[in-house]
Amino acid sequence: MQIDLLIEQVLNGVQFGVMLFLMAAGLTLIFGVMGLINLAHGSLYMVGAFACAAVAAATGSFWLGLVASLAAAAAAGAIVEVVVVRRLYKRDHLDQVLATFALILIFSEGTRWLFGSSPLYLNIPGALSGAVSLPGDLDYSLYRLFIIIVGMAVAAGLYFLIAHTRLGMRIRAGESDREMIAALGVDITTLYTLVFALGAALAGLAGAMVGALQSVQVGMGEPVLILAFVVVVIGGIGSIKGALIGAVLVGVIDTLGRFLLPAALHLFLPASQAASIGGSIASMLIYVFMALVLVVRPQGLFSANA
């Protein structure tokens, strides 16, 4: 086993994890503060990717696209909160799941209606394309490195926002006792809309950054949404720190599993069988990990309300 291959795979895992963190952070904030299960979070990810692709195609600038993705996803999030989600806070989780599932269908069909069902073109900006040499003779995609850095910066920013600002204080207060902070005169309605828009913007940012790497198409958000829920469950509901650590764990386990399991099975199985069986087991690995975490710590690794 070459050591630089292993390092590269760990970096890949971290990059995947950081992307999941951007999704899971919004999800866990919304659940922690408002007690709402938002299945439509994947649609906001898609909105971000489409906004970025459309603006980048019109202006030729990926960076403007990135700004547009933040704005479009935040706006879509705020509108959804005001028009639909606001009515759901007092309802039980089944109603929330039903209503936000309907939102997925509406977003998907709406996007298809606007952009068609063929995937859109969105490429990595010239300044970030190609590979960089890291110490130890390792070539690594510059863009993936960029995603890691942006993700870490967002994590640091969120930590600062929640731990050291007035808004963050209100968010934390909202998590522990929402009646009390409403009684203290904090405008809870606006706070909810803000939190929802913030979560949506993070999802949109993830969608735009990943869209350039993968493909921008209708339905791109749902597979990521499932993983983001896994991250939230592992990390502990409502905890940003949990979301970060859970996301990186899921990313690294998934990536290393895909790479190491077939290699391990190949020690005693023929190559094509090892590849096929190893691949199948690898795709289950993170769910097995989630089940283990639930057995040992049912509230997740860093539950906010523990």
Q: Which residues bind other proteins (CB under 8 A)?
A: 2, 5, 8-9, 12-13, 15-16, 108, 112, 117-121, 123-124, 129-131, 139, 141-144, 210, 212-220, 223, 255-256, 258-259, 262, 271-272, 275-276, 278-280, 283
In the bound complex, what is the minimum distance in angstroms from residue 300's beta carbon to other proteins? 24
In the bound complex, what is the minimum distance in angstroms from residue 184's beta carbon to other proteins? 45
Sign for the pseudo-dihedral over CA of 290, 295, 301, 304 = positive
Q: 161 or 285, CB closer to other proteins?
A: 285
Q: 53 or 162, CB closer to other proteins?
A: 53
As a whole number of angstroms, the distance between CA 178 and CA 184 comes to: 10
As a whole number of angstroms, the distance between CA 284 and CA 56 comes to: 36
Residues 6+ apart with CB under 8 A from 76: 44, 47, 200, 204
| Cβ neighbourhood burial of 118 (10 Å; 0-12, 13-18, 19+) | exposed
> What residues pair up with 134 in beta bridges, in sequence order?
138
In the bound complex, what is the minimum distance in angstroms from residue 6's beta carbon to other proteins? 9
In the bound complex, what is the minimum distance in angstroms from residue 221's beta carbon to other proteins? 11
Q: 271 or 292, CB closer to other proteins?
A: 271
In the bound complex, what is the minimum distance in angstroms from residue 149's beta carbon to other proteins? 16
Is residue 69 within a helix (H) or strand (E), and if so which, with residue range?
A: helix 62-83
Q: 115 or 159, CB closer to other proteins?
A: 115
Q: 34 or 208, CB closer to other proteins?
A: 208
The phi and psi torsions of 305 (rounded to 5 degrees) equal: -100, 15
